[in-house]
Structure 1
Amino acid sequence: MSDLKDGIVPPFLGALQACTSVLLTLLYGILARQANIIHERTINDMTGLCVKVFLPALIMVNLGSELRIGIAMNYVPVFIWAISYTAISVLMGYALSRLLRLPQWVTPTVASNNTSSLPLLLLETLQSTGSLGLITLPGQSQEDAVNRAQSYFLVCAVTTKTISYAIGPRMLRDMGNEGRNRNRNGQLQENVDSESQTTDDHQQPQDSSGNNHDSCNETRHQPTEQEEEEAANEQTSLLPTRVQTARHNTRNAIHSIFSLFPRPVRRGLVAIDSPFLDAALLCTATGALVGLIPKLHHAFFASYEDGGIFRSWLTSSVENVGRLFTSLQVFLVGCKLGVSFEKMRRSKNSGNTPMRALLVVFCVRLIVWPAISISAFYLFIRYTKILPHDPILWFSMMVMPTGPPALIISGLTELEDVSELEKMAIAKVLAVMYMLSPMVSFTITGALKATEALLKSQQG
């Protein structure tokens, strides 16, 4: 019996129960949509509420309560690892797409996985099964371990989502341009010679006429005094002059600071345009500030008897809002999958999903990355002393790169010029991957046993 208790079966059963719980939550969302209990517009509104309100509140409270000066360096490896494995995923997706001639949407689909709602709910379920007791240090409760693991995953989620918003639209835009450019290449190639000859023959007349045309335009478009007054009357701001001046100066200052960055950085910052990131980054900075300043941390998170003047009313209210995110977001993911199923049924041609594309996404997210992350971190922690002595950190970093793709790719397709057939193909892949999400139980079991082995080796 002791061998069974110490073996691989109990943690695997606990992980399988946790994954099954998440899958059932997804199924409830699908059934709710199929029964027409919730409408598509409501799903979109609730999803926006989750990512713009509930998740930032969870980030602020969870990160602020767990982040302290003594353990602040624990979050640096999480940040570096999130950037690293996302960049490697992009390279893997791009290389496999080129090598196997897969659709270009495979690259952004492989690039980012679900690092927010799915792992957060898995952690809560693992706590209920007691599986995290294998890697909980003496003197710590599993609840403390779950809270710390969630803070690690939230930092990872903000980092990976920022990268996804930066590069995802560009990859999808290239996907749309590639098809159009391919259709135009034949016509462009045929017209190159004739256009070049015509340009050589008429270059000088065009230049002279162009100059005359520009001068005519300058004369023609000079506004009269009456036009300037009418334009001013229609567009004059109602704000006082001082407020307008201050706003103008602030905008110029921001533009000046922005211009100091290199051009590639400026392009990347311009590409990141999301209300989620505005709220998430602000709440991340607020949570870090509250956590790293001892007096603020004490005031917000200590008990009222110990001087936590904000704990009972302000912190608890934000915490209650943040707790709504985890289960509700997974439920809404199921609702979105239900909407995708309906669109597939209504469409006569719901898109062709190459089996190779589905296998690539499945293998990268649920086989390759678990094998790489678990083995790499086991060897790295076993033979080096670089990472802090925190088993929950080790376990979290092993699990972070695994799991089904993030649904952000589905949202980005609505903003970019992506055909309906490609949208349906992406929706099919996402649906299949989330139905296969219980496969994560093997990753969780491997990460738990690897972390337990590391603990025993260091204690011995």
Structure 2
Amino acid sequence: MGVAAGELIVPFTGAIQAAFSVLLTIAFGVVAAQCNLLSPNAAKEVSKLCVRMFLPALLIYKIGSNLHQDTGVRYVPVLIWSISYTLLSVLVGRVLTRLFKLPAWVAPAIAFNNTTSLPLLLIQSLKQTQVLDAILIGGESGSEAMDRAESYFLVNAMVSNSLTFALGPRLLRPGDEDASNELHGEDDDLENGEANGDGGSSDMERGPDGIVDEETSLLPHQLTKPANRVEVKGYLKTRAWFNNLSPWLQETLEITWHFANAPLIGAIVGAVIGLTPALHRIFFSPSNEGGYLNASITAAIKNIGDLFASLQIIVVGVKLSKSLLRMKRGEHSGEVHKGSLATVTLIRFIIWPLISIPLIYAIASKTKLLDADPMLWFSMMLMPTGPPAMILVALADVTGAAESMKMTVAKFLTISYAVTPMICFAVVGALKATEAAIDQ
């Protein structure tokens, strides 16, 4: 019993450090909002910036640097496993939400776990505590193994984020409080512009004497007006063509379009660079070995990619601050039902580890389907485990969910990360199962 307790202390400490760092980052977001350093509208824009720029950059760097022609095959099981457990989670979330009449946000909370910020922070904490030294391949350093583990988790994140924005809006069922301006304003502007015959241009583009602000194009008016007219006509013709399609084909195209998101594009770019020897050398080799872009473009991509995890969590703190202010004033600030919280926690922290750890252990020890990389086995065991994704905040923003739901999601995420040290049991189980698979 004493040995078991001793084996639990180190990973438990690592899990606490990872969870505490997340909670502290949320607290910084609350402070930023309270001190008027970051408004809710600015936080919404930052959330979109994280998903559409910072996360793709992170995927390009991590996947591109770790993917080679001779190691690419080991990522195939990660893709298959990520798609499988996410789709199964979507099915479970949809069934439970309908069966027990749970709030709409419970379905995506069950379906999409944190596949980016928490795993990266957890791996960093475990690296510092040297917990994973027992499953390192002979001769390799801990840093090399941790980088490889991060690349596995990021491939998983690419799949999860693609499915989140493809299937998430249907699970979340957006409210109409914020949706009208965001979802329909662009169409109305385009139609009005065409009706006025100005190609969608505003008074701000009518000439040098017109109104100029930060959104005014720097190009000459003679260039912007024809370009806007062509853009509007192309949009209206495309929409007319789309409306003439059969309903089932329209739905198929909409679902396919949702999959074409920025994280997926970033992952594809990273894969192309990694699997093309010439590009891999130019982007990731040392400068004196042909890496001519390593110190410039690659460094810039890495710098903005590293911003993703912390900024996405700060946005949650801003949302939480707004909820706390409403609560203080006695207004409705979103409510997290105990049953919903217990359901999500049970599935994410207990049921999925009980499924994934024995399953991956059996595949690694009894078959040749997985590459002989213990870090791959360990990563796959932990992929379905953990609290709901922070990106649910961005999902609520881009789908136009009701403000009360956004604040509920922020509260729920904060509570979920407060109980995140529970992941230590899954970490210990995955570590022991990986060691046992090595001995087979």
TM-score, structure 1 as length reference: 0.75
Q: Which residue of 1 aligns with 2:417?
A: 434
Q: Which residue of 2 aligns with 1:389?
A: 372
Cα deviations across residues 210-256 of structure 1 (Å, max 9, x unaligned)? Answer: xxxxxxxxxxxxxxxxxxxx979644996789x969x969x98xx89
The one-letter amino acid of 2:153's match is F
CA distance in 2, matches of 1:374, 1:236: 56
CA distance in 2, matches of 1:234, 1:417: 29
Aligned-CA RMSD value: 3.5
CA distance in 1, matches of 2:70, 2:127: 25
Cα 1:8–1:437, aligned 2, differ >3 Å: closer, same or farther? closer
Q: Which residue of 2 aligns with 1:11?
A: 11
1:412 to 382, 389, 395: 395
CA distance in 2, matches of 1:151, 1:431: 26
Cα 1:72–1:264, aligned 2, differ >3 Å: closer, same or farther? farther
Cα deviations across residues 353-382 of structure 1 (Å, max 9, x unaligned)? Answer: 332111101111111112211121112222
Q: Which residue of 2 aligns with 1:325?
A: 308
Q: Which residue of 2 aligns with 1:97?
A: 97
Q: Which residue of 2 aligns with 1:222?
A: none
C-alpha contact (below 8 Å) 2:22/2:417 kept by paired residues:
no
CA distance in 2, matches of 1:113, 1:377: 18
Q: Output aligned runs, 1:324-363, within 5 Å.
A: 324-363=307-346
The one-letter amino acid of 1:105's match is W
Cα deviations across residues 270-317 of structure 1 (Å, max 9, x unaligned)? Answer: 4x18xxx64323322221111111111112111122222222222222
Cα 1:73–1:344, aligned 2, differ >3 Å: closer, same or farther? farther
CA distance in 2, matches of 1:341, 1:446: 37
Give ranges in structure 2 of 5+ residues lacking alignment.
177-193, 202-221
C-alpha contact (below 8 Å) 2:19/2:418 kept by paired residues:
no
Q: Which residue of 1 aligns with 2:299?
A: 316
2:277 to 281, 284, 294: 294
Q: Which residue of 2 aligns with 1:83?
A: 83
CA distance in 2, matches of 1:53, 1:46: 10
Cα 1:329–1:146, aligned 2, differ >3 Å: closer, same or farther? farther
Q: Which residue of 2 aligns with 1:375?
A: 358
C-alpha contact (below 8 Å) 2:381/2:430 kept by paired residues:
yes
CA distance in 2, matches of 1:174, 1:323: 30
Q: Which residue of 2 aligns with 1:366?
A: 349
Per the TM alignment, residue 101 of structure 1 is displaced from its structure 2 partner at its CA by: 3.2
C-alpha contact (below 8 Å) 1:65/1:291 kept by paired residues:
yes
1:266 to 240, 253, 259: 253
C-alpha contact (below 8 Å) 2:136/2:142 kept by paired residues:
yes
C-alpha contact (below 8 Å) 1:54/1:324 kept by paired residues:
yes
Cα 1:414–1:52, aligned 2, differ >3 Å: closer, same or farther? closer
Cα 1:17–1:174, aligned 2, differ >3 Å: closer, same or farther? closer
Larger proportion of helix: 1
Which structure has the larger Rg over C-alpha atoms? 1
SS of 2:413's equivalent in the other structure is: helix
Cα 1:352–1:297, aligned 2, differ >3 Å: closer, same or farther? closer
Cα 1:343–1:439, aligned 2, differ >3 Å: closer, same or farther? farther
Per the TM alignment, residue 169 of structure 1 is displaced from its structure 2 partner at its CA by: 1.4
Aligned length: 392
Cα 1:416–1:347, aligned 2, differ >3 Å: closer, same or farther? farther
Q: Output aligned runs, 1:67-216, within 5 Å.
A: 67-173=67-173
CA distance in 2, matches of 1:417, 1:54: 22
Per the TM alignment, residue 23 of structure 1 is displaced from its structure 2 partner at its CA by: 3.2
The one-letter amino acid of 2:109's match is T
TM-score, structure 2 as length reference: 0.78
Give ranges in structure 1 of 5+ residues lacking alignment.
177-229
C-alpha contact (below 8 Å) 1:69/1:292 kept by paired residues:
yes
CA distance in 2, matches of 1:89, 1:248: 39
